Amino acid sequence: MTWKTIRLELARTADHPDGSSAHAYVFRVPLDDQGFIEPKALAKAEKRPVVRRFWPGEADQSGVVIASSKGWVFSYKVGDEDDEAIFRLKDHPLKVGEYLTITETDGSELPFRVVSCHE
C-alpha cells in the first residue's frame, strides 16, 4: 500500500471535445498494488485525504475523500448534499489513462481521465 496523489482532468464531452485540463480534481489516497483505494488504510489515516476541485470561473474547493452509501465520494461540507459520487471507483483502478465518471452536485455525470498518479 502506497499513498498516491491523483490528478483527474475532464475527458471529452459535448462542451469540451478535447477535454479540459482546467476542470480537474487532485487528491491523495492509499492505493494497493493494483491501483485500488485501500479502505482500511484510509480509515486508519491520521488526517482525512484531501481533494481539491479546480473549475474555471469558480473558487477552488477543498474537501475530503470518504466512503458513503453512494460509494467513494468527494465531500466539501458536513452532510451529503454536496457530495460528488465517483461511479464504480471500487471497480476501477486509479492508473494513468483510466476513466472515471463523477456525478456533480447538480446531478450531471461527467467523464474524467486519470492524468497523473505519483507518490
Alpha-carbon distance 113 to 98, whole Å?
6
Backbone angles phi, psi at 60, to 5 degrees: -60, 145
pLDDT computed for residue 88 by the predictor: 73
What is the distance between the alpha carbons of residues 97 and 119, in angstroms, rounded to a whole number? 17
Q: What's the pLDDT at 86?
A: 85
In 3-state terms, what secondary structure has residue 41?
helix
Instruction: Say what the pLDDT of residue 69 is.
Output: 79
pLDDT tens for the chain, 119 residues long, are 899 999 999 999 999 999 999 999 999 999 999 999 998 888 888 777 889 999 999 999 999 998 887 788 888 887 777 788 887 777 789 999 999 999 988 889 999 999 999 99
pLDDT at 31: 94
Q: CA separation (Å) from 103 to 12, 72, 88?
A: 15, 11, 11
Element (H, E) at 39: helix 39-44
**Residue 62 and residue 51 in contact, taking contact as beta carbons nearer than 8 Å:** yes
Predicted local confidence at residue 12, as pLDDT:
97
Domain boundaries, the chain: 2-118
At residue 2, the pLDDT reads: 92
